Amino acid sequence: MPASHLYVHVPFCARRCVYCDFSIAVRPVVPVTDYLEGIERELNAVAPQEWTLDTLYLGGGTPSKLAGNGIRELVDSIKARATLSPNAEVTIEANPEDVTADVVEAWAKAGINRLSLGSQSFNDAVLNWMHRTHSARQIGEAVRLALAAGIDNISLDLIFALPSEIDRSWSDDLDAALALEPRHVSLYGLTIEPATPLQRWTDQQRITPAVDDRYAEEFLLAHERMTAHGFTHYEVSNFAVPGSESRHNSSYWSGSPYLGIGPAAHSFDGARRYWNIKPYSDWLRALREGHPAIEGEEVLDSKNTASERVYLGLRTREGYSVGKSDSPDRAAAERWARAGWAVIDGDLVRLNPEGWLRLDSLAAGLTGS
């Protein structure tokens, strides 16, 4: 069966944030027509004959840089080749400053029903340090405009564990996010990626990365605050009002097949993972010359598959089956439970927030991995 989940990478950004190592293209003027031509060409090459989508996710980059008409044309191109299921989840990632009344109305008419806002912080000084291009005020205004247009499934992104030199109250940011009453919140600990301004500043000792204790403290505070407000901590980085979990992202964590188009987009067919050419200009050139957009692939063997099944299970509230017998995995899970890192429910082990802080090492310790 064709993948029922489609990811579309829109690479354009106004500027590169200090922590970003994604495939982006900084353009003062977004080449909407050229980009949509590339998407058309790729869709012509990869779209199945009969295709029904349960989720469509426009990510980036900054998809909102395509404005209203660009998103409408993009979604129309997809609808010309696929049927969206009656209750399909259709998400757009957006920067708050791109959300205007006209634009968000056009998105709603195109079928967008979920908005993921790249908020990151409600502190203007922090946003400026991150090289974000919006203000704290614009986050609330974007939420108001989206609700007025009928898009009420709203997710906010926040970044925690900032360098010690940055004067930021994580508690205040959580309060500000909750005050907007989103249905979903994604929280990401700041990581230092190679070849980013953040790495350069770290090497120059201009900033000091957050220590593990503060990372843990802020992660656990978020869990406490969010769950007290009725959110479910359903994946290590994600919280949702019950029923508003991201169906698209959940498909990744459940191991479902998905298709990705656009520069650097990844796809998975159940046994093979493959990815597109990363630089936007190279991706577009390949398609115009009639070449595939795919840059590389890997076929998962039984060991890789087992390892991913362990890791993906442990990172969600669904957990991982360790069996009911006296197996090594069961013994490990019981040690985690005694340490206060997990709970065992029948044959399933589910990590709690203390366990999620140790996710990588715990997953690596199971025989399935």
pLDDT given for residue 326 in this prediction: 78
How many beta carbons lie within 10 A of that of residue 360, not counting itself?
Answer: 11
pLDDT tens-digit series, residues 172-211 = 999 999 999 999 999 999 999 998 999 999 999 999 999 9
CB–CB of 201/162 below 8 Å? no
- Per residue of the chain (369 residues), what is the pLDDT tens digit? 789 999 999 999 999 999 998 889 999 899 999 999 999 999 999 999 999 999 999 999 999 999 999 999 999 999 999 999 999 999 999 999 999 999 999 999 999 999 999 999 999 999 999 999 999 999 999 999 999 999 999 999 999 999 989 999 999 999 999 999 999 999 999 999 998 999 999 999 999 999 999 999 999 999 999 999 999 999 999 999 999 999 999 999 999 999 999 999 999 999 999 999 999 999 999 999 999 999 999 999 999 899 999 999 999 999 999 987 778 899 999 999 999 999 999 999 999 999 999 999 999 988 654
Rounded (5°) CA angle 238-71-15: 65
Identify the pLDDT of residue 367: 62
CB atoms within 10 A of CB 247: 16
Residue type, 191: T
In this predicted structure, what is the pLDDT of residue 368? 56
Topology (CATH level 3) of domain 5-253:
TIM Barrel (3.20.20)
Q: Which residue has the tokens 């890789």?
A: 304
Q: Domain residue spans in the chain?
A: 5-253, 303-364
Residue pair 123/136 in contact by the 8 Å Cβ criterion? yes
Q: Contact 260/9 with Cβ under 8 angstroms?
A: yes
Stated pTM of the model? 0.96
Helix (H) / strand (E) element for 199: namely helix 197-203
d(CA 367, CA 307): 9
pLDDT of residue 232: 98
Which DSSP string corresponds to 257-286? -BEEESTT-EEE-SSEEEEE-SSHHHHHHH
As to burial, measured by CB atoms within 10 angstroms (0-12 exposed, 13-18 middle, 19+ buried), residue 212 is exposed
Distance of alpha carbon 198 from the chain centroid: 20
